[in-house]
Amino acid sequence: MKRLIPFLFFLSCFPVHALEAPQIPKNIILFIGDGMGIAQITAGKIVKGRLNLEEFKHIGLVMTFSQNDMVTDSAAAGTAMATGYKTDNYTISMSSDGKPLKTVIEYAKDVNKATGLVASSSITHATPAVFAAHVDSRKKHTIIAEQIATSGIEVIFGGGWQYFVPNTTAGSKRADHKNLLADLAHSTQVIRTEEEFNNLGDVDSVVGLFSRGHLSKANKRKPGLPELTRKAIKILSKNDNGFFLMVEGSQIDWAGHDNNQDELIAEMIDFDDTIGVALDFAKIDSQTLILVTADHETGGFAIHDGSINAKKVTESEFTGSKHTAEMVPVFAYGPGASEFSGIGDNTKIGKTIIKYMKQAL
Ligand code: MG
Ligand code: ZN
């Protein structure tokens, strides 16, 4: 009994709820590999060897169909992940009857989290756009740019300055005199070059548009997707309330459309390297949920031959140049990750992130 009393006292120091505390992440990093199906990941693994993705223990599959088509585009699938709701193809975070759908970025702002978007495409392209804009067509790049410019998103890295500069500037794709970069410069740091990126000081917010249109291909991008993501996490993690960051490997999809195996593998490896940057942060931080998924598969890619030892894919085939209806994987790491196991729907990704944002209140 003499020994039991101090032991009971010791136990009473730990409230029961602490032992079963719900796993609510402080930070969420959502990686979207555009067009990244299982075969794309497999090809990346054959050539790279061990993937950072193999650190993820909670893995699920999601259906990707849109409101009006079994085969989705990036706008509808992105909307499902950004808002938790299905919509028609080509629609940017609006319902099929034209109502704006609240995004995870808007929910993050409600709880004073910092927010960021990083993409290897134009930042106005469908995947990043669904997190920052509400527009009835993904083709309305100049309107999407205006909404991005007033979104208050703290970190924006990608391409597409042609939509942000007035029609008097060479290379502009605007029809009007609006200078969105000049407007942004009143409240945030605006940068356009690799040198400015490397010399960026200790800022709380930044808009970096490093190309007139899309960023260059993997291995030619400067700054690269891993560096952009490292800097974004460094800036956003200064917020004591946490952050939401979306990082897109935009060009995996384009290699699929082009039926270009080598570019596809190069983009996959670059994307996995970028995931490694987030894992390095999350392992130390331990309050960060990382999700890696795709909006859809592209090209109906299949691997027919190659060598694990020589790290080569020697024979592969695309069944077409379009998106497919195949389920795509969801990899989850960190607090709250177990919710993403099993077979579900792509809306579950948006709904679960939003649930975590609301629980942060
Ligand atoms: Mg995309
Ligand atoms: Zn595509």
Report CA(338)–ligand 1 centroid distance (Å): 26
Query: Residue range 254-260: average pLDDT?
Result: 98
Query: Residue range 272-289: average pLDDT?
Result: 98
Beta bridge partners of 161: none
CB neighbours of residue 95 within 10 Å: 17
Catalytic residues: 74
Query: Residue range 138-161: average pLDDT?
Result: 98
Report CA(345)–ligand 2 centroid distance (Å): 19
CB neighbours of residue 117 within 10 Å: 26
Report CA(57)–ligand 2 centroid distance (Å): 28
Q: Which ligand minimizes its atom distance to the CA of 73?
A: 2
CB neighbours of residue 280 within 10 Å: 13
30 — phi, psi (to 5°)? -105, 115
Report CA(33)–ligand 1 centroid distance (Å): 8
pLDDT for the residue 171: 97
pLDDT for the residue 308: 98
Residue 345 structure tokens: 């729907």
274 — phi, psi (to 5°)? -65, -40
Report CA(248)–ligand 1 centroid distance (Å): 7
Report CA(182)–ligand 2 centroid distance (Å): 32
Query: Residue range 260-279: average pLDDT?
Result: 98
Residue 55 structure tokens: 């650190």
How far is the C-alpha of 222 from the C-alpha of 232, rounded, in Å? 15
Q: Which ligand minimizes its atom distance to the CA of 64?
A: 2
Q: Which ligand minimizes its atom distance to the CA of 117?
A: 1
Query: Residue range 291-311: average pLDDT?
Result: 98
CA 86 to chain centroid, in Å, comes to: 18
The arrangement of secondary structure in 28-312+325-334+343-359, i.e. its CATH architecture, is 3-Layer(aba) Sandwich (3.40)
**Is-contact 280 55, C-beta < 8 A?**
no
**Is-contact 332 58, C-beta < 8 A?**
yes
Report CA(5)–ligand 2 centroid distance (Å): 66
Query: Residue range 253-280: average pLDDT?
Result: 98
Percent of the chain's residues with pLDDT above 70: 94
- Rounded to the nearest 10 degrees, the angle between the axes of helix 38-48 and helix 261-285 is 80
Residue 136, pLDDT > 50, answer yes
Query: Residue range 235-244: average pLDDT?
Result: 98
Q: Residue 2 — pLDDT band, cuts 50, 70, 90?
A: low
Mean pLDDT of the residues in the chain: 95
Residue 201 structure tokens: 């000081």
pTM: 0.94
Q: Nearest 5°: CA angle at 347, between 344 and 288?
A: 90
pLDDT for the residue 17: 47
Report CA(359)–ligand 1 centroid distance (Å): 29
166 — phi, psi (to 5°)? -65, 160
How far is the C-alpha of 218 from the C-alpha of 207, rounded, in Å? 21
pLDDT digits (tens, 9 = 90+) for 14-73: 554 444 555 899 999 999 999 999 999 999 999 999 999 999 999 999 999 999 999 999
Residue 13, pLDDT > 60, answer no
Query: Residue range 182-193: average pLDDT?
Result: 98
Q: Which ligand minimizes its atom distance to the CA of 250?
A: 1
pLDDT for the residue 23: 86
Residue 6, pLDDT > 90, answer no
Q: Nearest 5°: CA angle at 253, between 248 and 255?
A: 125
pLDDT for the residue 360: 82
Residue 29 to residues 271, 279, 282: CA-CA distances in angstroms? Answer: 14, 10, 9
What one-letter code names the amino acid at 207?
A: V
Report CA(118)–ligand 2 centroid distance (Å): 18
CA count, 13 A, side-chain hemisphere, 241: 16
pLDDT digits (tens, 9 = 90+) for 102-116: 999 999 999 999 999
pLDDT for the residue 5: 54
Residue 197 structure tokens: 């990126």
What one-letter code names the amino acid at 120?
A: S
**Is-contact 44 51, C-beta < 8 A?**
yes
pLDDT digits (tens, 9 = 90+) for 312-360: 999 999 999 999 999 999 999 999 999 999 999 999 999 999 999 999 8
CA count, 13 A, side-chain hemisphere, 190: 14
